[in-house]
Every structure is written in structure tokens, then in C-alpha cells.
């Protein structure tokens, strides 16, 4: 029997453009923004990044995004390099996308579309797949104008009824809405299961520590280092999407549940923020949040602010204790590294580590123990006779100073931290 060789399809020749728009309120450092856009493109398999550039604009042009002269200049450059796909790092409206594709004879993908493609490629769990599919459908719903260009010249009806093109778009929009309803029902079932798991975890007397941070800050590598797990950890954006949880024993002998979550990124599409809210709710239930930063990154301060903005938008309680983990100190130059270590040592709730080499792990675990212990205060409470499990938990944790039986139940004087009280209330 003859074996036939089937050659692999060549990678799609891709050009990355970051539009730098004057006086844009959301303006970012253009060189850093372009580098991040290229890294995003490299995270999607099947693309050959042929070139990239910053295009400076005085303003957005409604129909084409770029001005006439720049459109022609880019057209020649794309043609010379035989480009098939252009990634534009920013929002591109449906009409702008259609017009640019028609003018340049290439496929256009904006930042939201690219991130959705990456998420679609990486989602592994049922919940992740459903969330990405819902986000993609919500995104496509706004772009139906692109799909029906062959009907645009037709007109029909009596003026108060739309023509065939409009009717087709409405039918397509209705089909997407129906699919979204079906997916939402399926996702609700998955979320209910996750809620039950969360409720059962709440009954376990272990605090939850959530890892958060900008994508590629090294969360999964740190997670693997602390837990001995083998979560996918690569030097790329969005290497992991689905949350993972493992048990960690602290130096004090106490146990915690460590949770790894999806990485954040600036201009994260609103469709994805909404879709992944159920996953990110793990963070909202955490007793402690570890904010992992790539301390050597040129934009580390901006990335930290972006993470804080997203956490605030998700509704993270203000009193949730946080520790900043300055990761990747092994990659710093010796002088910079010493300065970072000295600054971290002087700053409260900051720990400098290397998830690769393991440096700083012991001080980090000590800081976690201290944060979860927190300041303790005495409080008197009555535990009903039917709540024997709660009473037993208080004794297991060594929190009881006095225990008196009354007609209503057990009047107990306990000394505990805010985190321990929160865990008791979840039992």
C-alpha cells in the first residue's frame, strides 16, 4: 500500500499594524503596544508574522480608519509582501473592516477578533468552550453587515418593509440570538455545577488563594512551583485559560487552596469579560489574592494598573487582602535585581520571586501565612445545637476560648481573624 505525502498548508502571511491616534484617551506607549500585538499574533498557531509597524494618525476616519494616502501606501506594502491577513491592534468597526478588506484584498482581524481566536484555540473545558463560543457570537452579531454585500444593491417592499439584504441580516441576527439563548442555558448548567463545587469547597476549612495578573506574568509557572502540578506554562500570551485548583501546605502546617486564573490584558474585549465572569468569580470568593507581576517588563506599572482596574470592575471586595508577587527577578540585570529585591523588602505585602529558579518561595509562603492569619479579635457568638459541624470546626481550628451551653445553643467566645470568620460563615 502506498503512503501519500500530504503537505501541510503554509502559514498565513500576516502583517501587524498598531494605529497610533493623536489625542486618543486610551492611547498606550506605541512601541510597547505593537510588541504586545505581535506577541498576541505569535500566540495563534498558523500565522507567519511577516512584518509589523506603527501607523500614526491625526484622527480615525469613519469609513476606512486610515486616510486615503496611508491606505494606498499600505496597499502597496501589503501587495509587495504577499500579505494574506492584516491584524489591526485596536477596534475596527464593521464598515471599516469591510471597506479595508475590499480595498486591500486581504482578511482583516482587529484586536477583539484576534483575542477571540486565541481563546477559541485554547479553551479546553466545557465551560471555557461555551464561554468563548458565546463571546464570538456576540462579536459576530455586530458584524453581519459584512456577510451580505451581494444583497446591498437590491431593494424591495414598499418603503416600510426592508429589502432582501436587510431581511437576510435580520434572519441571521435572529439565528445568532437563538444560538446564544441555547448556549446560555448550557452554560447556566455548567455554572450551577461550578457553584455547587464552590459551595462544597466552602465547607472545607481551607482558605482560597487566587493567582491573578497580566497575561504571561508567570502565574502558571508559579502555580506549578508551589503545588508541584503540571499546568501548561509557556512564554506566550494566554498560555492557560481554564482555572485550576490545588492544595498547598504552608510552613505553619496550615493548608490552602491555590487557584490559577486566566491572565488579564489591556483592552480585554467586553464580550470576553462578560463571558468569563463565571470563571473569574473564583477570585471574588478568595480569602487572599496574589497579584503576580512580570517585574522586568517595560510596562509593568501599566500592566498592574490594568489588572487592578479589571479586578475593581469584577467587584472584588476592597477588604480582600492582596500580596504583590514581583516575578521573573532571575531575568533582571544584577544591579536592577538588587534594587528590586531591596525595594520589595521595604514595601509591605510585596515579595520578589523567581518561579523558574524557586528563589523567594519561602518568604512568599511566610507572607501568605501572615496575611491569612491577620489581626485576630475576640467575638462572642451562639451556635445552635443543629450546627454541630460549625462548632466542631471552631474547635478544630483552635479558635475557642470559652464554650457555655444555653437554652438556644452553645454560647462561644472565639478569637479569630477576618479570613477565619469569613470561612466560618461559608460553612
CA distances (Å), origin 291, targets 47, 195, 243, 324, 354: 32, 24, 15, 5, 14
Predicted pLDDT of residue 147? 43
CA distances (Å), origin 395, targets 181, 275, 366, 390, 424: 48, 41, 24, 9, 12
79 is in an annotated binding site: no
262 is in an annotated binding site: yes
Predicted pLDDT of residue 158? 38
Predicted pLDDT of residue 9? 62
Helix (H, G, I), strand (E, B) or coil at 170: helix
In terms of Cα–Cα distance, which of 231, 230, 249 is closest to 240?
Answer: 231
Q: Fold match between 12-119 and 205-372?
A: yes
Predicted pLDDT of residue 326? 95
Predicted pLDDT of residue 330? 93
Domain boundaries, the chain: 12-119, 125-147+168-204, 205-372, 377-425
Half-sphere exposure of residue 86, counting CA atoms within 13 Å on the CB side?
Answer: 28
342: Cβ contacts below 8 Å, ≥ 6 apart: none
307 is in an annotated binding site: no
Give pLDDT < 70 ranges for the chain: 1-9, 25-26, 122-125, 144-169, 191, 193-205, 229-243, 267-282, 374-376, 418-419
Q: Are 341 and 329 in contact (CB under 8 A)?
A: yes
Please count the other Cβ atoms lying within 10 Å of the Cβ belonging to residue 267: 16
In terms of Cα–Cα distance, which of 26, 83, 24 is closest to 53?
Answer: 83
Task: Tell me which H or E stretch contains 127.
Answer: helix 126-141
Distance CA 69, CA 158 (A): 41
Residue 40 in grid coordinates: 498576541
In terms of Cα–Cα distance, which of 284, 279, 308, 304 is closest to 294?
Answer: 304
330 is in an annotated binding site: yes
For helices 94-104 and 68-80, angle between their N-to-C axes, nearest 10 degrees: 50
Predicted pLDDT of residue 163? 42
390 is in an annotated binding site: no
Q: Are 87 and 37 in contact (CB under 8 A)?
A: yes
242 is in an annotated binding site: yes
Q: Which CATH fold topology does 205-372 show?
A: Rossmann fold (3.40.50)
For helices 164-202 and 126-141, angle between their N-to-C axes, nearest 10 degrees: 150
Predicted pLDDT of residue 269? 63
Q: What phi and psi values does residue 405 have, to the nearest 5 degrees?
A: -85, 135
> What are the start-end ranges of the H helices in 228-333?
270-275, 277-284, 300-314
303: Cβ contacts below 8 Å, ≥ 6 apart: 214, 217, 266, 293, 294, 297
Distance CA 105, CA 216 (A): 34
Predicted pLDDT of residue 33? 87
162 is in an annotated binding site: no
169 is in an annotated binding site: no
113 is in an annotated binding site: no
4 is in an annotated binding site: no
Predicted pLDDT of residue 164? 47
349 is in an annotated binding site: no
195 is in an annotated binding site: no
385-403 tens-digit pLDDT = 889 888 988 888 778 889 9
229 is in an annotated binding site: no
Predicted pLDDT of residue 364? 92
329 is in an annotated binding site: yes
241 is in an annotated binding site: yes
Predicted pLDDT of residue 151? 40
Q: Are 322 and 349 in contact (CB under 8 A)?
A: yes
183-232 tens-digit pLDDT = 778 777 776 766 666 555 555 557 888 898 888 888 888 988 888 766 54
CATH number of 12-119: 3.40.50.11060
Could you tell me which residues are beta bridge partners of residue 246? Answer: 258
Amino acid at each position: 500500500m502506498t503512503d501519500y505525502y500530504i503537505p501541510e498548508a503554509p502559514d498565513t502571511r500576516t502583517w501587524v499594524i498598531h494605529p497610533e491616534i493623536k489625542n486618543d484617551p486610551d492611547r498606550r506607549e506605541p512601541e510597547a503596544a505593537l510588541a504586545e500585538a505581535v506577541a498576541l499574533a505569535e500566540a495563534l498557531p498558523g500565522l507567519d508574522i511577516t512584518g509589523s509597524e506603527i501607523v500614526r494618525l491625526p484622527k480615525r476616519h469613519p469609513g476606512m480608519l486610515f486616510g486615503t494616502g496611508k491606505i494606498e501606501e499600505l496597499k502597496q506594502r501589503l501587495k509587495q509582501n504577499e500579505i494574506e491577513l492584516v491584524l489591526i491592534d485596536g477596534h475596527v468597526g464593521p464598515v471599516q473592516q469591510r471597506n479595508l478588506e475590499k480595498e486591500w484584498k486581504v482578511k482583516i482581524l482587529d484586536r477583539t477578533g484576534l483575542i477571540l481566536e486565541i481563546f477559541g484555540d485554547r479553551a479546553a473545558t466545557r465551560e471555557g468552550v461555551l464561554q468563548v463560543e458565546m463571546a464570538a457570537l456576540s462579536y459576530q452579531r455586530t458584524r453581519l453587515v459584512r456577510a451580505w454585500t451581494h444583497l446591498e444593491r437590491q431593494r424591495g417592499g414598499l418603503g416600510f418593509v426592508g429589502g432582501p439584504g436587510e431581511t437576510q441580516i435580520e434572519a441571521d441576527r435572529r439565528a445568532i440570538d437563538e444560538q446564544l439563548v441555547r448556549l446560555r442555558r448550557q452554560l447556566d448548567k455548567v455554572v450551577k455545577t461550578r457553584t455547587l463545587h464552590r459551595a462544597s469547597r466552602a465547607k472545607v476549612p481551607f482558605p482560597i488563594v487566587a493567582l491573578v495578573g497580566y497575561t504571561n506574568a508567570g502565574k502558571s509557572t508559579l502555580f506549578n512551583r508551589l503545588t508541584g502540578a503540571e499546568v501548561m506554562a509557556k512564554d506566550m500570551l494566554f498560555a492557560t485559560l481554564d482555572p485550576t485548583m490545588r492544595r498547598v501546605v504552608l510552613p505553619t502546617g496550615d493548608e490552602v487552596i491555590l487557584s490559577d486564573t486566566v491572565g488579564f490584558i489591556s483592552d480585554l474585549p467586553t464580550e470576553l469579560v462578560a463571558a468569563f465572569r463565571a470563571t473569574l468569580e473564583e477570585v471574588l470568593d478568595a480569602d487572599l489574592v496574589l497579584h503576580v507581576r512580570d517585574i522586568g517588563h517595560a510596562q509593568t506599572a501599566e500592566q498592574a494598573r490594568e489588572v487592578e482596574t479589571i479586578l475593581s470592575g469584577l467587584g472584588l471586595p476592597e477588604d480582600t487582602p492582596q500580596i504583590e508577587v514581583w516575578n521573573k527577578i532571575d531575568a533582571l540585570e544584577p544591579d536592577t535585581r538588587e534594587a528590586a529585591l531591596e525595594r520589595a523588602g521595604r514595601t509591605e505585602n510585596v515579595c520578589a520571586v523567581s518561579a523558574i529558579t524557586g528563589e523567594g518561595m519561602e518568604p512568599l509562603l511566610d507572607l501568605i501565612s501572615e496575611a491569612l492569619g491577620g489581626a485576630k479579635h475576640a467575638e462572642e457568638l451562639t451556635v445552635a445545637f443543629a450546627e454541630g459541624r460549625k462548632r466542631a470546626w471552631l474547635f478544630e481550628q483552635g479558635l475557642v476560648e470559652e464554650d457555655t451551653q444555653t437554652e438556644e445553643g452553645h454560647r462561644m467566645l472565639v478569637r479569630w481573624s477576618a479570613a477565619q470568620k469569613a470561612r466560618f460563615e461559608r460553612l
